[in-house]
């Protein structure tokens, strides 16, 4: 779990590192400010994450998806731009690589905080999915008795309680948990909504929205 202050501190460090590289001699700029796909180190690399893929609810693992994400800084027309890139590897239960998806850009912004937050959001989404999916899988396969349903709700809410959620956000998660188990809310929507409600990310989203409104007014 990360706090808003920790994200801001990391963002300032990355921004300073990128600016230092831009001010370096010209023969070093190309090495520092290029995409990692060209063989140079990225500005920031997130911890690897993985998600199990099942053939059917509550069945054995069919594949495992492993995601590698990083941030690159490039020199754009208006200055530095930051880009979140993701590369995905699919392996079978024996660990053999069966598919590889080339790196794709997920988020690009001139504000490193936007990109850093987006990367950590995806990490948290992967982790929450891994914990909630088996609970939902048990429900899809056999259903729940009233007592099992209450236990499932408590289990999911316990996972969510480890996140930095406000009191009002916890109430919304509780409502979403019921909708999830009753089939009115998809897993992906539940996970993304829950993670985005963390205070560290909610503040970033408000800042982005405010900046977009300001830019539209100026235009």
Residues 108-127 have pLDDT tens digits of 999 999 999 999 999 999 99
Mean per-residue pLDDT, 49-68: 85
Domain ranges of the chain: 4-218
Confidence of residue 216 (pLDDT cuts 50, 70, 90): very low
Residues near 92 by beta carbon (within 8 Å), at least 6 away in sequence: 62, 63, 98
What pLDDT does 206 receive?
46
What pLDDT does 2 receive?
76
Distances (CA, A) of 84 to 1, 52, 73, 81, 190: 20, 23, 9, 10, 23
| CB of 208 closer than 8 Å to CB of 114 | yes
Q: Is the pLDDT of residue 9 over 80?
A: yes
- The most distant pair of C-alpha atoms in the chain lies apart, rounded to whole Å, by 68
Alpha helices in the chain (DSSP H): 4-23, 26-32, 112-142, 146-161, 167-181, 187-196, 199-218
Can you say how many angstroms the Cα of residue 197 is from the centroid of all Cα atoms in its chain? 13
Closest CA to 172 of 190, 146, 199: 190
Residue with tokens 């937050």: 117
What pLDDT does 40 receive?
53
Specify burial of residue 206 (Cβ count, 10 A radius: 0-12, 13-18, 19+).
exposed
Please give the residue that has the higher pLDDT: either 1 or 106. 106
Of 170-179, 191-200, 208-217, which range is least confident?
Answer: 208-217
DSSP SS3 for 32: helix
Per the prediction, the chain carries an average pLDDT of 84
């Amino acid at each position: 779990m990360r706090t808003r202050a920790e994200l801001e501190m990391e963002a300032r460090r990355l921004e300073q590192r990128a600016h230092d590289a831009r001010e370096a001699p010209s023969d070093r700029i190309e090495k520092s400010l290029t995409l990692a796909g060209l063989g140079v180190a990225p500005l920031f690399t997130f911890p690897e994450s993985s998600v199990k893929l099942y053939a059917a609810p509550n069945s054995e693992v069919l594949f495992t998806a492993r995601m590698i994400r990083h941030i690159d800084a490039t020199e754009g027309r208006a200055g530095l731009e930051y880009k979140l890139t993701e590369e995905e590897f699919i392996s079978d239960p024996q660990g053999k690589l069966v598919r590889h998806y080339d790196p794709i850009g997920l988020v690009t912004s001139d504000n490193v905080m936007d990109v850093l937050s987006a990367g950590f959001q995806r990490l948290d989404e992967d982790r929450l999915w891994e914990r909630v999916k088996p609970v939902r899988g048990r429900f899809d396969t056999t259903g729940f008795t009233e007592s099992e349903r209450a236990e499932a709700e408590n289990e999911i809410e316990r996972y969510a309680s480890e996140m930095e959620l406000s009191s009002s956000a916890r109430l919304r998660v509780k409502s979403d948990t019921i909708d999830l188990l009753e089939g009115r809310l998809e897993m992906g929507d539940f996970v993304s909504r829950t993670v985005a409600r963390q205070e560290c990310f909610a503040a970033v989203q408000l800042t982005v929205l405010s900046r977009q409104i300001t830019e539209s007014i100026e235009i």
